[in-house]
Structures are given as structure tokens and as C-alpha cells.
Amino acid sequence: MTVIAIDGPAGSGKSTLARLLAARLGFAYLDTGAMYRAVAYLALREGVATDDGASLAALAREARIAFTPDGRIVAAERDVSAEIRRPVVSAAVSEVSAHAEVRAVLLDEQRRIGAAQDVVIEGRDIGTVVFPEARVKLFVTATPTVRAERRRKELIAGGEHVDADETLQAIVARDAYDSQRAVAPLRRAADAVELDTSSLGIDQVAEAAREIVLARLGADS
């Protein structure tokens, strides 16, 4: 099976790219960030402390997180696709995902999915930890200002009205937290191809990624 690993910071466009790339290649798509968001959402709903790694891991294990064929995420037997994108969940997910116990539970599931089919998997540690042997690795990035504006528009589209400066501060803070955490920090794999999406439309990014993937797979065949 072929794994395409896509990593990058919040708002870089990696989720949109991964969905489009998977569709163009005929691969499955897995958003690992949504899995951590689901755990964070459930923790907030159930009153589980976000600094309690053991309890969060148990919550993740019991939640039976899964994806529907159309890409929606189910946790604890309910569709949580909308709830996990709320700002309160975004504020909690970095701390939740920093726990080694939580990552161990979800990593097993991610590897199981990746071993079963050709898949495009996106997150923050796919090419460095989850699938370091992935045949193609992409690191997607953009300037903090561009990423903050993308996230703000996404939230507005979902009915959340947020301040531009606050969104930028949140992006910068999450970058720092994710890149400095002790467990599976956000970083570019040594053999990953970097794609800066700051001034590119999504179709341009998707086509550039598709060409990289086909060239790499062709070279490996």
C-alpha cells in the first residue's frame, strides 16, 4: 500500500490539499488532526482535564473514533464533524495531542488504516513519526498572516465571528506549542518536499502536489 504523508501547521491548507490530492489519485483520505480534535471535544464535554494524559487516552480508546465514507468523523457513536471545529476545541487540542498516552492510542489506529489501503494522511507528525517510511512526504506551509486569515474565514463560514488579531495570535501560539512539545513535535521530515501555499490557489497547490507524487512514485517503481 502507498502512503502519502502531508504535514504542516494550522491553516496551511494541508487538509484541503489532502482531500483534493486523494480524490485526484483515487486514494483514501485520513485527517489525523480531526481524531485529536474529537478527543479534545469529548474531554471538554465530559469534563476530563486536558492535562490528564491517562484519562484522555482512556477516553480516546473508548470513543471508537471513525470516519464515514464521505469523510465525516464519528466519536462516541455520534457525528462530531461540526463540533470539533469550534474555537474552544481548537484552543484545547494542542495540549490534548501533546500527551504520549493519547498519541499511542490514535497512532495504532492511524497505522492500521494506512496499512489497509492507498491513502493520503495529513497531520503534524505523519512523515516523522506515524509513517516515517512513507513513499512521498509533503510539508505544507504558509505565512502566519495568510494562515490566520484562512482560519478566520473558515470560522466565519461556520457561524463563528472572530477578531483577525486574535486569530493571528492563536495561530502563532499554536505554532510555538506544536513545534516545541516534547512528544512528536511539528517539524519537516528531512526527505519531505516543502510547498509554500501563501500565494497559490488550492488548484495550483493540488496540481503541484500531484506532480510531485507521480514523479516520486515513478522514480521508486
At 186-200, the pLDDT tens digits run 999 999 999 999 999
What are the CA-CA distances from residue 84 to residues 35, 40, 55, 65, 73 (Å)?
A: 9, 8, 19, 13, 9
**Confidence (pLDDT) at 221:** 52
**Confidence (pLDDT) at 4:** 97
Distance between the two ends of the chain, CA-based, in angstroms? Answer: 13
**Confidence (pLDDT) at 93:** 93
**Confidence (pLDDT) at 115:** 87
**Confidence (pLDDT) at 162:** 84
Helix (H) / strand (E) containing 145:
helix 144-157
User: In the chain, which residues have pLDDT < 50?
Assistant: none
**Which residue type does 1 have?**
M
Domains of the chain: 1-27+118-216 (3.40.50.300), 33-117 (3.40.50.300)
**Confidence (pLDDT) at 206:** 95
